[in-house]
Amino acid sequence: MTEPLFNIDVLRKQVNGDEEFVKHLIKSYIDKTPEQLNEMKIAANESNWQEVSNVAHKLKSSAKLMGMEIISNELLKLEQDGKSMQNIDTIAARATATVDIILKAIDGLKQY
Distance from C-alpha of 13 to C-alpha of 33, rounded to nearest angstrom: 22
Distance from C-alpha of 99 to C-alpha of 109, rounded to nearest angstrom: 15
Judge whether residue 2 has pLDDT over 90.
Answer: no
| Inside any domain, residue 2 | no
| Inside any domain, residue 112 | no
Domain count, the chain: 1
| pLDDT tier for residue 84 given thresholds of 50, 70 and 90 | very high
Q: In terms of residue numbers, what domain contains 38?
A: 8-106
Q: Averaged over 26-51, what is the pLDDT?
A: 97
Distance from C-alpha of 73 to C-alpha of 2, rounded to nearest angstrom: 17
| Inside any domain, residue 3 | no
How much is the pTM? 0.91
